[in-house]
Structure 1
Amino acid sequence: MTTDITAMLWDTTPLYPAADSPEIEAELAKGADETREFRAAYQGRVASLDSAALREALLRYEALNELLVKPQLYAHLLFAADSENDAHKRLSQRTAEFGNLMGRELLFFDLEIMEIPDDRFAAIVSDAQFATYRHYLESVRRFKPHTLKEREEQLLKMKSLTGADAFTRLFDELSASLRYRMELDGQEQEFTGEELLGLLHHPDAAVRERAFSTFLNRHEEEGIVLSTVFNTIALDHGQELELRNYRHPMEPTHLGNELPEEVVNRLMEVSEANYPLAQDYFRLKARLLGLPKLKNTDVYAPVGETDRRYTYEEAKGLVLDAYGRFLPRFREMAEAFFAERRIDVLPRPGKSGGAFCMGMTPRLVPYLLLNFTGNLRDVATLAHEMGHGLHFALAQKQTMLNYHAPLPLAETASVFGEMLLTRHLLEREDDPKVKVALLCAKIEDIIATTFRQNVLTRFEERMHRERQQGLLTSSQLCNLWWEENDRLYGDSVEMIPPYRWGWSYISHFIHARFYCYSYTFAELLVLSLYRKYLEEGEPFIPTYLAILESGGSQSPADTVRPAGIDLADPHFWQKGYDFLAELIAELKGLIAEA
C-alpha cells in the first residue's frame, strides 16, 4: 500500500482552515443575523404573499439554508474522521446546537406554506415561475396532517438535543471508541472494528469466526448502553408517531420517500418470497468451499482468487477505469476526488466505521469516507461511494431545496457503479476460476443489498412495534434479530451464537428510521436500469444522466418514468430477482467450465 499517508487523508481546508478558525464563528454569526432578518421579514405573512414576493422569499430561504449548513457539515467531517479529538467534539456539539436553534427560528416558513389556501396553492404550483420549487412546495404540504403548531414544533426540536440526538451521539462516540484484541498470525493484536469486519473476507474460516465473534462479544459487553440507546430511539419515535397521528412506525418514512405503503409492502413481500434464491446460493457456496454447510461467518469468504489483496492505488485504478469505460466524463469527475484529496481512506482509532459520501450543497463539493483494508469488498465500496459522489456532483445543477435525491433513489448511482466495476473485472479476466470468484462476490453483494436489508427492515419494524408495548431487554432484541435472520438463512446457513448481537452495531437503526429498505429498492431498480444499459448501450446514457441530475426535484416515480420504469407495476420487483437468478445460473455454468 502506498506510503504517502497524507494523500489518503481528506483535506477539509477548502471549507475552513481548522476547527478553531475565526471564519467559522463569523459565518455562524452571519447565519444567525440573516435568520433573524428573514423571520422578521416573513413571519405571519407567507400565506398572503403575492407570487413575486413568495418567489423572493424562497430564494432567500434556500440561500440561508446553504449558509447555515456549511459549518455543520464541516464539523461532521471532522468528527467522523476523529471523534476522540476534543476540538472536533466541541465544534460538532457547537454546530449541532446552532443548527437546532436556527431550525427552530425557521420552522415558521414551512408551517405557513402549509397554511396557504388550497386554491391559491394550486395556482402557485401551476405558475411557471415556481417550476423549480414545485416539488419542494408539494413535499412540504404532504406533512400538513402530521404537523403541530409552531411552538410545539420548536419545543420538540429543542428537546431533541437532550433526547434522541443525544443518544445518537452517544452511540457514535461509543462505537468509535471500542478497541478489540485478537490473536492473528500467532500473536495478539489490537484492531479497530472495521479491521475485524474486514477479516470476514479472510481465507481462513477460523480467523473469520474468531474476528466476528470478537467484534460481537465486545458489543455484548456494552449491552446495557446499547440496549438503552435502541430502546430510547424507539420510544422517542413511538411518542412522535402518537403526537403526529401516524398510523404505524414506517409511515413517516414512506411519506418522506413519496412511496405508497403498498409499494413498499410489495417490495418486502417479493423479497421474502425470494429468500429461497439466496438459500440456493448459500448451499452452492458451501460446496465451492468444501463445507457441509456455511456458517454466517463464511458468507463473504473468498472463493479462489478473491482472497488477493489490493493496494489503494490498484483500487483507484480499477474504479477509474470502470467509470471511464461507461463515460469518460465520469472518470474525469472521479479523478477530482483523488486529486483534491476529498477521500479519507484508512481505518484508525476514533474514526467512524463503515463508509459514506457527504453530499454538501450545490456550491460545495462532496467528500468520501472509507475504511480501506485491501480486500475486493473494499474496492467495491470505493466504487459504491464514488457513485454517490458523482450523483451529488451531477445534482449540483439543482438549487439547495432540490439538491438531495429522495432516499429511494439515493443509492442508485452507488449500486450502478458497483455493477460497472464487476463488469470491468469480469471482462478483463480469461480464467474461468477467477470469473467464478468475481461473480460470487457480485452475487453476495446483491444478496446483502436486497435480502439482508429486508431482514434489517423487518427487525427494525418489529423493534418499534414491540417497544410500544414496553421496554425491550437485550435478550428480546437479540431474539428479534435472530428470528428475522433465521427466516433468510433457513437451514442453509448456521448462525454463530455471538451473532445474536448483530443488531447492536447497525448505525442506520439509530441515524435514520427505516433507511434500509432504500437499499433493497435501489438494488432492484439498478438491476433493471443496468439491464437496459446492456440492451441499449450508449443511447441509455442520457436517460441515466437525467436521473442523477434531477437530484430531489421530482418524486421517485416521476424521476425513473422516462427510463420506462413503473414503480406501481406489481411485477417490477420480481424482475430484479429474476436477474439475480440469471447471475446464479451463469455462475453454475462457470463452475462447470472451471
Structure 2
Amino acid sequence: MTHFKPDFARDPRMFDANASGSSDLGDLPEWDLTDLYPAPDAKEIKRDQDWLEESCRTFAADYEGNLASLEAEDFLDAVRRYEKIDTVAGRLMSYAGLRYYQHTTDPKRAQFLSDMQDRVTTFTTPLVFFGLEFNRLSDEHVENLLAASAELARYRPVLERMRAMRPYQLSDELEKFLHDQSVVGASAWNKLFDETIAGLTFTVDGEELNIEGTLNLLSEQDRAKREAAARELARVFKENVGLFARVHNTLAKEKEVEDRWRGMPSPQTARHLSNHVEPEVVEALRDAVVEAYPRLSHRYYALKAKWLGLDTMEVWDRNAPLPMESERIVPWDEAESTVMDAYTAFDARMTDLAKPFFKEGWIDAGVKEGKAPGAFAHPTVTTVHPYIMLNYLGKPRDVMTLAHELGHGVHQVLAAGQGELLASTPLTLAETASVFGEMLTFRKLLDQAKDQQERKVLLAGKVEDMINTVVRQIAFYDFEVKLHDARAKGELTPDDINALWMSVQGESLGPVFNFMDGYETFWAYVPHFVHSPFYVYAYAFGDGLVNALYAVYEEQGEAFKDKYFDMLKAGGSKHHKELLAPFGLDASDPAFWAKGLSMIEGMIDELEQMES
C-alpha cells in the first residue's frame, strides 16, 4: 500500500551545499495543502479513514481465497477497487507527511503523522493477501486473464512487478506481521533520524545555524568561513555519531534479516526489483562511472585547485565558488522566470504544466525552523497534484534545484493520467524529467552568457552538479554496498562506518584532496542511506540517461518533443527498454553509459581549453 516517502525525488545537491537565509529573496511561496484536506481536524479526514477501514474489510471479505475463481472482468473490478483504496490511503499519508516535513520538530505534527501511519497500516493489513494470493496463480492462468480483457491487460506492468516478488514471498501470516510491524520498524527509525537532523544546531562565528545554513557556508567565497563551517559540522556529527551509527546498524540489520528470510540474493535486489531494472544494467553503470573517475572528478578538481590557487584542496574547497564567480543573490521572481523561460523555450506545453506550481501554492520554498533539509517533489495521488519542497535562499545552485524539482512535478502531472497504480515511475526513470529540466535551464543560461568568464562559471557549475549527481552518487552506492556487507557480519562501531566512508572518498574525488579530521563522519546526515537503501544509483542512471536523451534532442529537434512527452506520460506503464526505444537508446548497452559520461568529459575539455 501507499506510504508517504518523498525521498525518491530529493535532489542530490542537498548532500553538499544548500541555502541559508537572506532578506533579498522576495516573497517565497508556501504550500496550500487544502487541496488534500482543509485541516488536520477536518471532517473529510474522518470520512476518508472510515471509508478506508470499511473498504479494506469488504475487499478482503469479497476476494480473499477467491482470486483463482475470478473471471477477467471480476478480477478487473478487484484491481480497480484496490486502486481506489491505494488512492485514499495515499491522500491521507501525503497530507500527514507534507505537514510533518514542513516542521519536523513540532510534536503535534509528528504525532499526527505517527497516528495516521498506525491507522492506515492497521486498516490496510487485510489487503496483504492480495499480492500473495495473486502470486500463487499459475503463469498460464494470469495470461488467460490478461488475454480476456484489454482493460485488465493495461495493468500488466503492475502485475508483472508483483510477480517479480514471487521467489521472495513469505507466508501470508509472516507478510501480515511485517506489514503491521512496519510502523515500529524502519519508519520509526526514519522519523528519529529526521527529527534529530532537523534539531541539530551549529555555531559558526558566533551565529547559531541549522544544518541547512551550515551546509550553505561550504559554498561561500570566504575560505575561512568554509573551513569554520566544515569543522563545526564535523564537531556536531561526532557528538551525535553514536546515535547515527545505531540508526544505521539497526536498519541494515533489519534489512538483512528480512532479505535472508525472503531469500534475496543481495541487499540491492529489492531496490533493483522496485526500480524494474536488471542488476547487470546497474553494475554496468557503476563500473563505467568508477572507471571514469580519473577522467571526470580527478581531472576537474585538479583544474579547480589551480583556479583557487591551491596545491591541495581541503574538503571545504570542493563546493567553493570560483574566484571570478558573482556572489549575487538570485531573488525568487528571477529564479522563477529563469526556469520558466527555459521550459517555455523547449515547448509551450511545459509552461502550461509548470505554471500552477507557482500560482496555486504547490511549492514551499523558504528555510524555516524545523523544516526538513534539502528538496523533494512528492506526487501525492493522481487525483490531486504534486507538491515541491525547497530550501531556497538565492544561490545559483538553488535555481538549478528549482529546475530539477519542477521537472519532477511536470513528470508527475503528466503521468497522473495513468491512474494510481501505473503512474508511479521507477526511480531510475523518475530522475529523467528532473535532470532534463536542469539541462534545459543550463543550456538557456549558457546561450545567454555575455562573455567567456560567465561561460566558464556556468560550465564549471554544471560539471560540479554532474559530478555530484554521477560520481558522488556512485561512490555513495559503493559505500552502502560495503556497509550492508559489513553489517551482515556483525555490529559496526562508528569507527567501522567511518572507515567504510573514507574508503570511497579518495578514490572518487582524487589525489588533489586532503581530508580533514572529522570528515569521516559526514555519512551521518545523508538521508537516502536511512530512508531508501541503494536509492542513490538512480541519480547517476538518470543523469546518464538525460545526457544521451539531450544528444538525441539536439539531433532531432522538433521531432524529439512529442516522443519526450509520451515518455513522461507513460509513468510506470513501460519498462525502460520500451521507453527508450523510440529514441534509439538502450540502457543495457554498455556504450550507452559511455555516451552519457562523454558529455561531462566534453565540458571538462572545454574548461581546460579555456586555460590554454
Partner of 1:437: 457
Q: Give the SS at the match of 1:272.
A: helix
1:112 aligns with 2:130: no
Counterpart residue number, 2:321? 302
Deviation string 1:74-124 (CA, Å, 9 cap, x unpaired) is 000000001122321121001111222233221111111111122111222
Query: 1:285 is matched by which residue type in structure 2?
Result: K
Tell me the matched-pair count. 588
Tell whether the 8 Å contact from 2:28 to 2:366 is kept in structure 1 after alignment: no
State the AA in 2 paired with 1:130.
L
Task: Identify the residue that residue 281 of structure 1 maps to in structure 2.
Answer: 300
Query: Contact between 1:257 and 1:408, CA under 8 Å: does it hold in 2?
Result: yes
Per-residue CA deviation, residues 247-306 of structure 1 (Å, 9 max, x unaligned), is 111111112222221111111111110000210110011111221122222122112234
Per-residue displacement from partner, 1:323-355 (whole Å, max 9, x unpaired)? 111111212221211100111111122110110
CA distance in 1, matches of 2:28, 2:240: 35
Structure 2 partner of 1:357: 377
* Partner Cα distance (1:7, 1:528) in 2: 35
Residue aligning to 1:177 = 199
The alpha carbon displacement at 1:526 in A equals 0.5
Structure 1 residue 591 displacement after superposition: 4.2
Q: Please point out which of 270, 275, 291 is paired with 1:252.
A: 270
Q: Which residue matches 2:389?
A: 369
Counterpart of 1:161 in structure 2 is 183
Q: CA deviation at 1:22?
A: 2.5
Supply the distance in 2 between the matched residues of 1:571 and 1:356 (Cα, whole angstroms): 31
Question: Which of 383, 397, 405 matches 1:385?
Answer: 405
**Which residue does 1:83 correspond to in 2?**
104
| Matched position secondary structure for 1:8 | coil
- Which 10-residue stretch deviates more, 194-203 or 265-274? 194-203
Does 1:125 pair with 2:146?
Answer: yes
Paired AA for residue 21 in structure 1: A
Equivalence for 2:526: 506
**1:228 equivalent in alignment to 2:246:** yes
- After TM superposition, the structure 1 stretch with the greater mean CA deviation from structure 2, 488-497 or 174-183, is 488-497
2:13 is matched with none
Structure 2 distance, partners of 1:108, 1:526, is 39
Q: Percent identity?
A: 35
CA distance in 2 between partners of 1:126 and 1:589 (Å): 60
Give 1:53-68 correspondences, 5 Å limit: 53-68=74-89
Report the counterpart of residue 214 of structure 2 in structure 1: 196
Aligned to 2:42: 21
Which whole-Å CA distance do the structure 2 matches of 1:85 and 1:233 have between them?
A: 24
- The separation in 2 between residues aligned to 1:347 and 1:462, in whole angstroms, is 34
Which residue is 1:145 aligned to?
A: 167
1:360: how far off? Answer: 1.3
Aligned to 2:343: 323
Return closer, same or farther for 1:578/1:17 CA change in 2, 3 Å cut-off.
same
What secondary structure sits across from 1:155 in the alignment?
Answer: helix
Runs of 4+ aligned residues of structure 1 deviating over 6 Å after TM superposition are 1-6
Contact 1:306 1:376 in 2 (8 A): no
**TM-superposition CA deviations, 1:443-470 (whole Å, max 9, x none):** 0001110010001000011100100111
Q: Would the alpha carbon gap of residues 6 and 28 (structure 1) be closer, same or farther in structure 2, given more than 3 Å must change?
A: farther
Cα deviation code 1:186-234 (max 9, x no counterpart): xx11212111112222111221121122123212211121110000010
Shift of the alpha carbon at 1:517? Answer: 0.4
Distance 2:94 2:234 in 1: 31
1:147–1:383 Cα change, 3 Å? same
Shift of 1:2: 7.2
The separation in 2 between residues aligned to 1:174 and 1:154, in whole angstroms, is: 30
Contact 1:2–1:311 (8 Å) recurs in 2: no
Q: What amino acid sits opposite 1:58 in the alignment?
A: V
Residue in structure 1 matched with residue 281 of structure 2 by the alignment: 263
**Alpha-carbon deviations, 1:31-87, whole Å to 9, x = none?**
111111111111111122001100111111101110121111000000000112232
Match of 2:231 in 1: 213
Contact 2:28 2:332 survives alignment (8 Å) = no
> TM-score, normalized by length of structure 2?
0.94
Tell me the distance in 2 between the aligned counterparts of 1:198 and 1:7.
18
Q: Secondary structure at the match of 1:553?
A: coil
**Is the contact between residue 26 and residue 333 of structure 2 (CA under 8 Å) also seen in structure 1?**
no
Q: Secondary structure at the match of 2:155?
A: helix
Q: What is the deviation of 1:130?
A: 2.0
Query: For structure 1, which segment, 225-234 or 16-25, has the greater mean C-alpha deviation from structure 2 after superposition?
Result: 16-25
Partner of 1:555: 575
Q: Which amino acid aligns with 2:248?
A: F
1:3: how far off?
7.8
1:71 is matched with which residue?
92
* Equivalent residue, structure 1, for 2:309: 290
Q: Which residue of 1 aligns with 2:60?
A: 39
CA distance 1:5–1:444, change in 2 (3 Å): closer
Tell whether the 8 Å contact from 2:72 to 2:146 is kept in structure 1 after alignment.
Answer: no
Contact between 1:2 and 1:312, CA under 8 Å: does it hold in 2? Answer: no
Return the match for 2:481 from 447, 461, 465: 461
| TM-score under structure 1 length normalisation | 0.96
Aligned mates of 1:170, 1:308 — CA distance in 2: 37
In the alignment, which of 539, 556, 560 is matched to residue 559 of structure 2?
539
Q: Name the aligned partner's letter for residue 531 of structure 1.
A: A
Whole-angstrom CA distance in 1 between matches of 2:483 and 2:169: 25
Quote the Cα distance in structure 1 between the aligned partners of 2:424 and 2:326.
35
1:306/1:438 contact within 8 Å kept: no
SS in 1 for 2:203: strand
Partner secondary structure for residue 13 of structure 1: helix
Provide the aligned C-alpha RMSD in A: 1.5
CA shift, 1:575, in A, is 1.1
Matched, 1:401 2:395: no
Once residues 23 and 495 of structure 2 are traced to their aligned partners in structure 1, the CA distance between those partners, rounded to angstroms, is 45
Which secondary structure does the structure 2 equivalent of 1:500 belong to?
helix
CA distance in 2, matches of 1:445, 1:359: 24
Contact 2:25 2:331 in 1 (8 A): no
State the match for 2:445 in structure 1. 425
Q: Which amino acid aligns with 1:90?
A: Q
1:240 to 234, 251, 258: 258
Shift of 1:4: 9.3
CA drift of 1:440 comes to 0.3
CA distance in 1, matches of 2:308, 2:502: 25
Q: Find the aligned partners of 1:371 and 1:380 in 2 and give their Cα distance.
A: 12
Does the 8 Å contact 2:403/2:441 carry over to 1? yes
Paired residues of 1:20 and 1:87 also in contact (CA < 8 A) = no
Q: Separation in 1 of the partners of 2:463 and 2:27?
A: 35
The 1:536–1:590 alpha-carbon spacing in structure 2 relative to 1, beyond 3 Å, is farther
1:16 Cα shift? 1.3
Look up the match of 1:93.
114
